[in-house]
């Protein structure tokens, strides 16, 4: 059928949260159910919907997944599909009505369990000052966020209108704010007009009727606005003042007038006007510049002594240091402010260069690797009892001697030890192959070459 002839938006019936807002402190918003009056409103909405429909109309419902909207839909369908009070059967079969739960029609998220009533009242006042559309509930969402997901639903709904078997009447059972946001997106209303709209009553019908000439939907229902309410109240107040009798002020003889007034000051003290509410910044006045946040005291590390290095031969990388170098024990000063503090109860340990990042971490080259210090890691490059200074520069500490650049003899010796350039091949673990494995590898290479030739264009027989 294409586009439905009518779109009806219905706000849910009265819920326990509408009757007592403090219930949201204990029950999640999506689990709040209808009251007894709410069930009566939902069933009455089903009778009113039945009077609007034609006997040959087909229906499709989209409902929010919240409990109060699903129960409202159930109450509407109960009276819509049942026999009327006069006993006439309903032309609408319950099994022929399609009902879909649409999460994008859910209520604006107010942030899980709500705080106390005083905090919620302060939040509503703050939202009124900031603006209902852009104000985001703490841990929740704003009306602008709800507008985004409703926009996606509108696009989905519009695409479904292209189906040939789409029903003739589409009913959306949702919430008050979502109804206004839906209309704002559909009719391209401004934010200012959305702010001026009042909420929709429980089970109130917002009817959008399709124009046969151009296929557009006209809003038949009238929405209430705050500006019209203010004008109405101003007219009522002016009419009440005009009808009220004017007070009579009798003329008092100046000679008999109270003379105590001459002793009063000329200007009577009046109460100070209430300052405007201030939500952002520091409400009670900014005093942060006087705050002092104490820092943790730094603990000093014990001094580390750089012992005299013992060299066994000229191959040591620092064997050729200049004369007059540090040959006596020199102590390193305690921790300076540049070092990190030590946690209480932790034993201070000295971090060597290999514990830091960069090129000194991981597995160093043979001429850079220090000994483990237990005598088992003796090498030709470092003394096992040598203590390396910290990487951080300490004032008064022994300077690290410069490293000697490797000579050509070192490079040649390292190349011979590694086996590079000798033609030897290693297995997956890096071990040298045994004597019989080299012949097997040569035969394997010949088989691979023969296989490549068979699979090539010249040797292929496929």
* DSSP labels, 204-240: -EEEEEEPTTT-PEEE-SPPPBHHHHHHHHHHHHHHH
Q: 151 in a domain, yes or no? A: yes
Which listed residue (12, 24, 132, 202) is catalytic? 12
pLDDT given at position 333 = 45
Task: Look up the domain containing 369 and give its range.
Answer: 333-338+349-398
Q: Is the sign of the CA dihedral 332, 334, 337, 339 positive or negative?
A: positive
Q: What is the DSSP letter of 15?
A: B
Give how many domains the chain has, as a whole number: 2
Residue 151 has what pLDDT? 94
Task: Compute the Cα dihedral for 105, 108, 112, 113 and give only its sign.
Answer: negative
- Tell me if 130 is assigned to some domain: yes
In a domain, 393, yes or no: yes
Burial label, 230 (beta-carbon count in 10 A; 0-12, 13-18, 19+) = exposed
Residue with tokens 């966020």: 145
Asked if 36 and 167 sit in the same domain, the reply is yes
Quick check: 319 and 313 in contact, CB under 8 A? Answer: yes
Helices and strands (H, E) in the chain, number of each type: 10, 8
DSSP H helices, 103-213, are: 117-130, 143-160, 176-187, 191-196
Shared-domain flag, residues 16 and 147: yes
Domain boundary among 229, 248, 269: 229
Residues 216, 361, single domain; the answer is no
pLDDT of 448: 72
Candidates 16, 22, 43, 71; catalytic one: 71
Domain CATH number, residue 207: 3.40.50.1240
Strand, coil or helix: what is 305?
A: strand
What is the pLDDT at residue 461? 44
pLDDT value of residue 329: 45
What would the two tokens of residue 256 be? 């008999």
pTM of structure:
0.56
**Residue 438 located in a structural domain:** no
Asked whether residue 182 is assigned to any structural domain, the reply reads yes
CA–CA gap between residue 131 and residue 138 (Å, rounded): 15
> What secondary structure letter does DSSP report for 290?
G
Assess if residue 269 is contained within a domain: no
Specify if 203 maps to a domain.
yes
Strands laid side by side in the 59-63 sheet = 98-101, 59-63, 169-174, 6-11, 205-210, 217-219
**Residues 156 and 10 occupy one common structural domain:** yes
Run means of pLDDT, 10 residues per run, the chain, 462 residues: 90 93 89 95 94 92 96 95 78 91 94 85 87 91 95 93 91 96 95 94 95 92 92 90 72 55 53 58 63 59 53 47 46 46 48 44 49 47 50 61 79 75 55 58 71 57 40
| Euclidean distance between CA atoms 199 and 126, whole angstroms | 18
Active site residue 307: no
Same domain (yes/no): 356, 225: no
As a whole number of angstroms, the distance between CA 277 and CA 282 comes to 12
Please calculate the CA angle 205-211-215 and round it to the nearest 5 degrees.
115
Q: Out of 375, 398, 421, pick the residue that ends a domain.
A: 398
Among 200, 229, 258, where does a domain finish?
229
- Contact of 170 with 99, CB cutoff 8 Å: no
Whether residue 34 contacts residue 69, with contact meaning beta carbons closer than 8 Å, is answered with: no
Known catalytic membership, residue 71 = yes
- Whether residue 217 lies inside any domain: the answer is yes
CB contact at 8 A, 201 and 170: no
Say if residues 49 and 8 touch (Cβ distance below 8 Å). yes
Which has the closest alpha carbon to 69: 112, 99, 49, 111?
A: 99
DSSP structure class, residue 200: P
Helix (H, G, I), strand (E, B) or coil at 244: coil
pLDDT score recorded for residue 326: 47
**What pLDDT was estimated at residue 164?**
86
β-bridge mates for residue 60, sequence order? 98, 170
């Amino acid at each position: 059928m294409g586009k439905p002839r009518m779109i009806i938006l219905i706000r849910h019936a009265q819920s326990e949260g509408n009757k007592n807002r403090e219930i949201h402190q204990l029950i999640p918003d999506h689990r709040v159910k209808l009251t007894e009056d709410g069930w009566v409103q939902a069933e009455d909405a089903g009778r009113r919907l039945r009077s609007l429909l034609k006997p040959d109309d087909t229906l499709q419902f989209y409902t929010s997944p919240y409990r109060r909207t699903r129960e409202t839909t159930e109450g509407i369908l109960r009276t819509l599909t049942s026999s009327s009070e006069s006993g006439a059967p309903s032309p609408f079969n319950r099994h022929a009505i399609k009902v879909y739960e649409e999460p994008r029609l859910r209520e604006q998220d107010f942030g899980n369990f709500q705080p106390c009533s005083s905090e919620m009242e302060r939040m509503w006042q703050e939202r009124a000052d900031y603006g209902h559309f852009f104000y985001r509930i703490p841990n929740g969402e704003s009306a602008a966020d709800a507008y985004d997901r409703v926009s996606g639903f509108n696009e989905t709904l519009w695409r479904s209108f292209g189906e040939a078997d789409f029903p003739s009447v589409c009913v959306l059972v949702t919430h008050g704010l979502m109804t206004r946001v839906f209309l704002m997106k559909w009719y391209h209303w401004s934010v200012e007009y959305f702010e001026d709209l009042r909420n929709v009553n429980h089970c109130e019908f917002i009817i959008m009727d399709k124009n046969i000439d151009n296929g557009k939907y006209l809003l038949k229902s009238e929405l209430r606005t705050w500006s019209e309410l203010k004008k109405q109240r101003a007219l009522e107040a002016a009419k009440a003042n005009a009808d009220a009798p004017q007070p009579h002020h009798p003329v008092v003889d100046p000679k008999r007038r109270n003379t105590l007034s001459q002793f009063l000051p000329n200007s009577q003290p009046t109460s100070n006007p209430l300052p405007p509410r201030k939500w952002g910044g520091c409400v009670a006045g900014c005093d942060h510049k006087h705050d002092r946040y104490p820092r943790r005291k730094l603990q000093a590390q014990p001094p580390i002594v750089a012992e005299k290095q013992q060299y066994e031969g000229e191959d040591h990388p620092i064997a050729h240091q200049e004369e007059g170098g540090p040959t006596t024990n020199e102590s390193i000063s305690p921790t300076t402010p540049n070092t990190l503090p030590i946690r209480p109860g932790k034993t201070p340990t000295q971090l060597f260069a290999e514990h830091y990042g960069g090129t000194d971490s991981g597995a160093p080259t043979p001429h850079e690797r220090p000994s483990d210090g237990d005598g088992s890691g003796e090498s030709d490059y470092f003394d096992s009892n040598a203590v390396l200074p910290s990487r951080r520069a300490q004032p008064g500490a022994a300077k690290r001697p410069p490293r000697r650049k490797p000579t050509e003899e070192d490079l040649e010796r390292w190349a011979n030890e590694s086996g590079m350039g000798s033609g030897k091949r290693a297995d997956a673990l890096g071990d040298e192959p045994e004597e019989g494995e080299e012949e097997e590898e040569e035969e394997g290479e010949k088989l691979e070459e023969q296989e490549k030739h068979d699979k090539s264009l010249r040797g292929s027989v496929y």
